[in-house]
Amino acid sequence: MLVVQSRDMPHYLAISQSLFTQDANVRNVKAFFATKRAKFTTTWPLSSRAQATGTL
C-alpha cells in the first residue's frame, strides 16, 4: 500500500503517471480517495499483543 498526499488532482495524476504507467510490469492500478482527513499522525497503531511479541 502506498499513501500519497498531493496538493491537488493534477499533481496526483503527475505522480501516479511517473510512478506506475511508465513501468511495463504494472498492469492495473486502483486508487481510493479520502475527502476528509481521518488521521493526523504518521504512526500506525499496533495491537498490544504485537508490541509484546515483536510481531505484527
Long-range interactions of 42-46: CB distance < 8 A, separation 24+: none
**Is the pLDDT assigned to residue 2 strictly greater than 80?**
no
Please check whether residue 13 lies inside any domain of the structure: yes
Domains contained in the chain, number: 1
Determine, yes or no, domain membership for 44.
no
Q: Is residue 56 part of a domain?
A: no
Cα-based distances in Å from 33 to 6, 19, 23, 56: 11, 17, 23, 26
For residues 35 and 48, which has the higher predicted lDDT (pLDDT)? 35
Flag whether 18 is in a domain: yes
Domain that holds residue 19: 1-38
The pLDDT confidence band at residue 38, using thresholds 50, 70 and 90, is: confident
Asked if the structure places residue 33 within a domain, the reply is yes
- What pLDDT is attached to residue 21? 77
Q: Taking a C-beta distance cutoff of 8 angstroms, is the pair 43, 49 a contact?
A: no
Q: Reduced to 3 states, what is the DSSP secondary structure of residue 14?
A: helix
Does some domain include residue 21? yes
pLDDT in tens, 3-24: 788 888 899 888 888 887 777 7
Q: What local confidence, expressed as pLDDT, does residue 28 receive? A: 79
Q: In a 3-state reduction of DSSP, which class is residue 43?
A: coil
Instruction: Tell me: pLDDT of 46 over 60.
Output: yes
